[in-house]
Structure 1
Amino acid sequence: MDTASVKIQNTESREALEEKVAKLTAEVKQMRNDRELLLRNAAKNRIFLDISKELASSLDPNVILRKAFQQFGSLIEFATISVLLYDELEETYRLIVQPDAPITEQFQLVLKNEICDLFEDYPADPPFEGLDIAEIFSLMPYRPEAAKVSEYRHVLHLPIILAKNVRGLIHLTRLGNLPFTPQDLDITSEFTGIFVISIKNALIHKKTEKLAFTDALTELFNHRYFQDALKHEFLRTKRYTKSLSLMILDIDFFKKFNDTYGHQTGDKVLQHVSKIFKKSVRDHIDTVARYGGEEFAVILPETTLEGAAAFAERIRKSVESCQPDFVETENKITVSIGLASTSMTDCETYSELIEAADRALYRAKRAGRNRVEEYRETAVSKADS
């Protein structure tokens, strides 16, 4: 064999060897990549498992989302995360999480009704085709400062689907020059799938719970809820030595409305007075309940007898001045109110506080109705003025 032939064979052998080495190197690299992918997926699955466990531990939608987002941050990098979720109880879209909002407003912001209209016009599949996300977020009652908005260079959004209907939106923002990737989209989609089930269960629980503690006619809390709430507030008042006042209200001559106009009008009277209550009380502080029949009760935490008396007088005047058109002038709706407060009684139990307010209400009726009566050692009346 001549030298030229040997050189050719050596070259071919070298090329074949180099090809095998390159192939093995590529296979090793692929194995490493596969291993890294498996490790990442395993870590991701562990986090999703932790998220699922966390979500299963609560039936409060706000708690569920807070817990989920704490762990979601370890899966994907983002600057802000917001969730719009349809609230069936309020029949509107609610901003559940907006980290840039003041903490006191973070879970209480109700979106403008225009957003509902936007959602209704777009199908779930494909998600939000043609929907202007900027338009949605421009309708929010709270938005980050303009300077911050300009820094959010990349946006990722996914619909929240419940029963094949769009019931919300997840909105992610990212700073800098790192755009969202298809992998980010997949992770966000998986994350959405996990907590949507928990959110759905939480909303069903919330709705069921509300129905169990709500009077169907007036949509106020019922007697059962009132008893539990008053007991809780009474114990808290005793523990922290604060004032607690209770107001029991009775619609004057209510039987007359039923006898004169029928029971349907009587129901309207109850609803009319209930609406005045709802507009007058402090949200998330006072508790308004239908006590029974034509009687209502209001729990006023951290309120002295004097403060409760001023509030009761405003209620009395509002009822007297705001007459509905379904009753005649000579049959005006008025109310009698009895007040009791821990600041003026030595009640040992919440039942004694109810009894004291009942006694004051009885005095108001005997004194001519359409008045406020306070329970003290010596009864003090606030006559009709």
Structure 2
Amino acid sequence: MAKPQLPAEYKVFGMLQTPIWIYQLDPFTLLWANTAAVALGPDATLSAHLSRLSQHQPEIWVQRLAHYRLRLSQGQTIQETASNQGCDQGCKTPMNWVGSGLSLADGSLGLVVEGQPLAGATKAVIDQASTHRAMVEAPRSVVAKAALHQQAETLQAIFDNIPLMLSIFDAQGQVEYINQAMEAELGWSLAEWQQQDLMAACYPDPAYRQQVLEHIHQASGDWLDWQTYTAAGHVIDIAWAHLRLSDGRIIGIGQNIGDRKRIEAKFKQQAQRDRLIAQVTQRISQSLELQDILDKAVFGLRQILAAHRVLVYALDVTCGGRVVAESVSDGYPFIQGRVIVDHCFSPNRPILDEYRHGRCQITADIYTSGLADCYVNALAQIKVRANLVIPIIQDERVWGLLACQQCDRPRHWQPSEIDMLTQMAHHLAIAIQQAELYHKLQHLATHDKLTGLPNRRYFDDYLEQEWRRLSREQAPLGLIFCDIDYFKQYNDTYGHLAGDDCLVLVAQVITRSIKRAADLTARYGGEEFAVILPNTDMAGVIRAAQRIRREIEAVNIPHRTSLIKPHLTLSMGLASWHPDLSLTPNTLKSMADQALYQAKQGGRDRYCLPSPSPP
């Protein structure tokens, strides 16, 4: 016996994304399933559920079918739930089914069933299923009429009950019908659609409108998203699908997907922010240079948050602090390096304790947030209108502040933005601690522990660097070797602790005598010191040596066992040369060393010059 045919108007079920099955009741036979239902497999069908139950209760088929006929004849729905427990242990896909009566083409009673998986359904899926359930249940109100009325009347009853936009185009492509949902959503009545070409109003761009029309005429059942103008001039996102009926007419189903688009945009934006944060975090974790870490952080954050300024403010131990890193949009003041005195940050002030416990300063508008006038004026001077400040906490102390600023208007900071800045402040605190530890270790490796001066290793690296630089610039490089006269006797007379104090004092005197930032004083070894003087000819080197001698004499360090004077003296070897890449820095060191030897041999407490040419 041939299976009853499915009424044409119910083919719209094939376009839905929620699982739909249609059964013949007598005998209970599956006639049709849409794509979403087929994807779940045979295990998810109502008939599979009844088969599993009948293995334990053979009479279940007869009882259930009698129950279905009774409820459907009363215009009610049926509901079944399958779990993976008890008699339904074979169920791989826990489901809930809701069924409604439906008149088949031969007049017999059918059953349209909507399924919903019980596990893993997101809110979006549940909301969509609820919307589609309205379409499944809509025929229930017209089942009794379906056998008595024409196909068009059945469709109209469905259309008037469904919370989706529905339309019918005749064979010539003219709008024949729209439902109440479409009229309410777009703002035009059926009469207005039939009297004028509203497709041009919905889709003003001709090329875009042509794509929409092609999608309608193809009637493929595929869902496509279109940006559609309403009668009020607003643009809304609508997903449309179209299906051609047997008489040539086209039925369209539309759904406002604005909420979905907004959620997708939010997730996309959040995913983009997460990627950018990961990139910024990775970049700062790969660097051990503090300034590089801070610069990368403020630049990346300003891009992510689309703010006008992001800065890092390092607190001073007394009060206030300094802007140590800043990324700012064009047209707004650049304040990196600025020292800001704020007595609120002096020790034991309440605000520091609040910051230490994680307090954030969230200011949507400096003029309405109750800030003190001094703060409002200070922020207004650098064009700030909204301010978000997060403390950078390191070892339970407030190292500094991370601030994000909007300059052109008030800004209501979102929880996600506050959370992001808080996370970044935490990453910065770790990165800053690592950078500071690295610099401490680097300082220990390159500086003399006793005097605090650069050590021999640092001296050699710096001399090599300046030799190469000045060889390119064809400028002179000066060098002084200093040796404390009769230092062994000093140690023997005053003791090694006094000897250490003497070395520290001599290091301070020599450093004080050297004026320029590029000049370098180093402890070369034992009681010997070295001074590198970039861009310095021999006359300049001599002046530097004379300053050192005067300063040493002025401090008048007693040395009663010296064989030349009752106070401490220095012997110095001087050299200056125009570096040449055909030679090495050892050339200059040999010249200065030779001159130092001459000074010692000549009686000490003096400086000497080397021979006029490199050895």
- The TM-score, its normalising length taken from structure 2, stands at 0.49
Shift of 1:111: 8.1
Among residues 241, 264, 270, which one is paired with 1:35 in the alignment?
Answer: 264
Task: State yes or no: 1:354 paired with 2:586.
Answer: no
Matches within 5 A, 1:333-348: 333-343=568-578, 348=583
Task: State yes or no: 1:53 paired with 2:282.
Answer: yes
Q: Name the SS for the 1:259 alignment partner.
A: helix
Shift in CA distance, 154/64, structure 1 to aligned 2, threshold 3 Å: same
Residue matched to 1:318? 551
Shift of 1:151: 2.7
Query: In structure 2, what residue type is equivalent to 1:214?
Result: H
Shift of 1:78: 3.6
Shift in CA distance, 163/353, structure 1 to aligned 2, threshold 3 Å: same
Matches of 1:120 and 1:333, distance apart in 2: 49
Matches of 2:524 and 2:342, distance apart in 1: 33
Matches of 1:285 and 1:14, distance apart in 2: 86
Matches of 1:207 and 1:115, distance apart in 2: 30
Query: In structure 2, what residue type is equivalent to 1:319?
Result: I
**Structure with greater strand share of residues:** 2
Matches of 2:439 and 2:321, distance apart in 1: 16
Q: Name the SS for the 1:75 alignment partner.
A: helix
Residue matched to 1:308? 541
Shift in CA distance, 196/126, structure 1 to aligned 2, threshold 3 Å: closer
Residue matched to 2:310? 81
Task: State yes or no: 1:372 paired with 2:600.
Answer: no
Is 1:250–1:296's contact at 8 Å kept on the other side of the alignment?
yes
Matches within 5 A, 1:113-132: 117-118=346-347, 122-123=352-353, 124-127=356-359
Shift of 1:267: 0.5
Is 2:392–2:428's contact at 8 Å kept on the other side of the alignment?
no
- Which stretch shifts more, 145-154 or 74-83? 145-154
Matches of 2:343 and 2:559, distance apart in 1: 36
Shift of 1:150: 5.8
Is 1:222–1:289's contact at 8 Å kept on the other side of the alignment?
yes
Shift in CA distance, 125/211, structure 1 to aligned 2, threshold 3 Å: same
Shift in CA distance, 323/171, structure 1 to aligned 2, threshold 3 Å: farther
Matches of 1:113 and 1:221, distance apart in 2: 35
Residue matched to 1:8? none
Deviations 1:80-137 (A, max 9, x none): 433234799xxx966422569999x956x788898984378733104389xxxx99x9
Query: In structure 1, what residue type is equivalent to 2:388?
Result: L
Matches of 2:516 and 2:160, distance apart in 1: 83
Listed as ranges, the gaps of 5+ residues in structure 2 are 1-158, 165-179, 185-237, 239-253, 362-370
Is 1:59–1:205's contact at 8 Å kept on the other side of the alignment?
yes
Task: State yes or no: 1:159 paired with 2:388.
Answer: no
Shift of 1:347: 8.6
Task: State yes or no: 1:262 paired with 2:495.
Answer: yes
Residue matched to 2:413? 181
Deviations 1:21-44 (A, max 9, x none): 69x999944433321211111110
Matches within 5 A, 1:196-345: 196-282=429-515, 284-323=517-556, 331-343=566-578
Is 1:345–1:376's contact at 8 Å kept on the other side of the alignment?
no
Query: In structure 2, what residue type is equivalent to 1:38?
Result: F
Matches of 1:210 and 1:85, distance apart in 2: 21
Query: In structure 1, what residue type is equivalent to 2:312?
Result: V
Deviations 1:269-301 (A, max 9, x none): 111111223334356512221100110111112
Is 2:451–2:504's contact at 8 Å kept on the other side of the alignment?
yes
Query: In structure 1, what residue type is equivalent to 2:597?
Result: Y
Is 1:94–1:111's contact at 8 Å kept on the other side of the alignment?
yes
Is 1:347–1:353's contact at 8 Å kept on the other side of the alignment?
no
Query: In structure 2, what residue type is equivalent to 1:306?
Result: A
Residue matched to 2:8? none
Matches of 1:258 and 1:112, distance apart in 2: 48
Shift in CA distance, 331/374, structure 1 to aligned 2, threshold 3 Å: same
Matches of 2:515 and 2:323, distance apart in 1: 22
Matches of 1:157 and 1:56, distance apart in 2: 22
Residue matched to 2:598? 363
Matches of 2:302 and 2:529, distance apart in 1: 47
Is 1:305–1:343's contact at 8 Å kept on the other side of the alignment?
no
- Which stretch shifts more, 347-356 or 219-228? 347-356
Shift of 1:16: 9.3
Shift of 1:307: 1.4
Is 2:519–2:532's contact at 8 Å kept on the other side of the alignment?
yes
Q: Name the SS for the 1:338 alignment partner.
A: strand
Residue matched to 2:90? none
CA-atom RMSD in angstroms: 4.2
Shift in CA distance, 318/102, structure 1 to aligned 2, threshold 3 Å: farther
Q: Name the SS for the 1:127 alignment partner.
A: coil
Matches of 1:294 and 1:218, distance apart in 2: 11
Is 2:298–2:327's contact at 8 Å kept on the other side of the alignment?
no
Matches of 1:268 and 1:65, distance apart in 2: 39
Is 1:337–1:371's contact at 8 Å kept on the other side of the alignment?
yes
Q: Name the SS for the 2:287 alignment partner.
A: coil
Matches of 1:112 and 1:263, distance apart in 2: 45
Q: Name the SS for the 1:195 alignment partner.
A: helix
Matches of 2:393 and 2:523, distance apart in 1: 37
Q: Tell me how many residue pairs correspond in the alignment.
A: 348
Shift in CA distance, 339/33, structure 1 to aligned 2, threshold 3 Å: same
Is 2:360–2:391's contact at 8 Å kept on the other side of the alignment?
yes
**Structure with greater helix share of residues:** 1
Which of the two has higher C-alpha Rg? 2
Query: In structure 2, what residue type is equivalent to 1:42?
Result: A
Residue matched to 1:141? none
Listed as ranges, the gaps of 5+ residues in structure 1 are 1-12, 139-144, 379-385
Shift of 1:322: 2.4
Is 2:468–2:581's contact at 8 Å kept on the other side of the alignment?
no
Shift of 1:251: 1.5
Shift of 1:215: 0.6
Higher RCO, Cα 8 Å, sep 6+: 1
Query: In structure 2, what residue type is equivalent to 1:362?
Result: Y
Task: State yes or no: 1:62 paired with 2:291.
Answer: yes
Matches of 2:488 and 2:303, distance apart in 1: 63
- Which stretch shifts more, 282-291 or 61-70? 282-291
Shift in CA distance, 281/38, structure 1 to aligned 2, threshold 3 Å: farther
Residue matched to 1:97? 325
Matches of 2:342 and 2:512, distance apart in 1: 20
Q: Name the SS for the 1:178 alignment partner.
A: coil
Shift in CA distance, 52/117, structure 1 to aligned 2, threshold 3 Å: same
